[in-house]
Structure 1
Amino acid sequence: MSDEPARWTQATVYPDMWADPDNDPRHSQEPGPEGELATLQDFLAGYRLTLRMKCEGLDPEQLARRSVPPSTMSLLGLIRHLVEVERDWHNWISTGDPLPKLYGERDADFLGAVGEQAAVDSAFADLERAQATTDAVLAEHPDLNERVGKDKIAIRELMVHRIEEYARHCGHADLLRECIDGRVGQ
């Protein structure tokens, strides 16, 4: 007997997919977005949704489980981490005083990810709020060549960095989820 869960997927069409293509909310029959900004926003939205999908169906303890010791990383910790990252991006855009860390100093986003429903609900609400705030500020800057903030970062660089951050953490989420209950897929 092994303590490791058996690998499984909900997809019935392709065994390496998270969901069947007809049921995957990340896919549509519509043509892809037109233009660079719309394409970047579409990829970001897809990775954000993928991260949420990797968390679906798990209880608070599972979301907070540190599945790859000695790492402090968990799915809930990733959600909390991305709250802080969204706030950091807002700080990059702003010329005012930076937003303080929401969860505390270094690694508090991961260390404070505890298996309680209130912590889960709070983290997802915090993420939604932080994403909406950053998105709203960036909507005021549709020119990808525009440079903003104290460091004069280009909007294009910020958008690509956002996609990279979510994509990287979706990879972590794949491994974390598989360790929790064996579910796999793109």
Structure 2
Amino acid sequence: MNDHRRTEPSRTADDRTSLTGFLQYQRETLELKCAGLTTDQLRHKAVAPSGLSLIGLVRHTAEVERIWFQAVWNGEDSEAYWPGTVNGTFAEFDSDQADPVEAFTVWRTACARSREIVDAAESLDATVKWRDELFSLRYILTHMIEEYARHNGHADLLRERIDGSTGE
């Protein structure tokens, strides 16, 4: 896992650069946790009884990127990448037949679109109303950092159970 480098966030940057830097760092951490694994390993539900897998996390974070940046912030009417539910859970977590190439392509595309949307926004304090709630761009970026950090903790456990790799 050590051959992938992550971009360290600035320790002295302004708010926008700090928030986007930490979000990118968390994205790169997820990719690092998945690096070098086979399709079966990426699909493996390594911590019973949970149905969580690394590829499910990649697919889920692609959906979260789409929802928060495209739908909520930008008001786009974007369709879910993996619509519906399977066995009572979001379809993106159904990893039994998940294609890693497709999942990483969708995720990387969603991340790139999110970066474009954030770059185009005038202010972190700007707000949008979505489903009768008001959200600032600052809130969305902070929430996304939290979302990735939580799931990267899951990824740590999954990766360790798959092949013993630990650490950031």
State if a TM-score over 0.5 links the two structures: yes
Larger CA deviation: 147-156 vs 35-44: 147-156
CA distance in 2, matches of 1:179, 1:170: 14
Under a length normalisation based on structure 2, what TM-score does the superposition of the two structures give?
A: 0.87
- Cα shift readout 1:80-109 (whole Å, capped 9, x = no counterpart): 01111111112111335x322111213211
State whether residues 65 and 115 of structure 1, in contact with CA within 8 Å, keep that contact through their aligned partners in structure 2.
no
Answer 1 or 2: higher relative contact order, Cα 8 Å, separation at least 6: 1
Indicate conservation of the 8 Å contact 2:61/2:107, yes or no.
yes
- Please tell me whether the aligned partners of residues 63 and 76 of structure 1 are also in contact (alpha carbons under 8 angstroms): yes
Asked if 1:121 is matched to 2:105, the reply is no
8 Å contact kept, 2:7–2:24: no
Task: Classify the secondary structure of the residue corresponding to 2:167.
Answer: coil
Q: Secondary structure at the match of 1:114?
A: coil
For 1:155 and 1:110, locate their aligned partners in 2 and report how far apart those are by CA, in whole Å.
27
Contact 1:67 1:180 in 2 (8 A): yes
Within-5 A mapping of 1:17-166 = 19=2, 25-26=5-6, 32-89=11-68, 90-96=70-76, 98-106=77-85, 107-111=90-94, 113-114=95-96, 119-150=99-130, 151-166=133-148
Structure 1 residues 43 and 31, CA gap change in structure 2 (3 angstroms): closer
Over aligned residues, Cα RMSD in angstroms? 2.0
Cross-structure match for 1:6: none
- Distance (Å, rounded) in 1 between the aligned partners of 2:75 and 2:26: 28
Q: Which runs of 5+ in 1 are unaligned?
A: 1-17
CA–CA distance in structure 1, aligned partners of residues 141 and 44 of structure 2: 30
Encode CA deviations 1:139-163: one digit per residue, 9 max, x unaligned. 1114111102434310100010010
Aligned length: 161
Secondary structure (helix, strand or coil) at the match of 1:123 reads helix
> Which SS does the other structure have where 1:152 is aligned?
strand
Distance in 2 (alpha carbons) for counterparts of 1:66 and 1:148: 37
Aligned match of 2:163: 181
Q: How far does residue 77 in structure 1 lie from its aligned partner after superposition? A: 0.4
Q: CA 1:178–1:99 in 2, change beyond 3 Å: closer, same or farther? A: same
Could you tell me which runs of 5 or more consecutive residues in structure 2 were left unpaired when the two chains were aligned.
Answer: none
Relative to structure 1, is the Cα distance of residues 41 and 57 closer, same or farther in structure 2, using a 3 angstrom cutoff? same
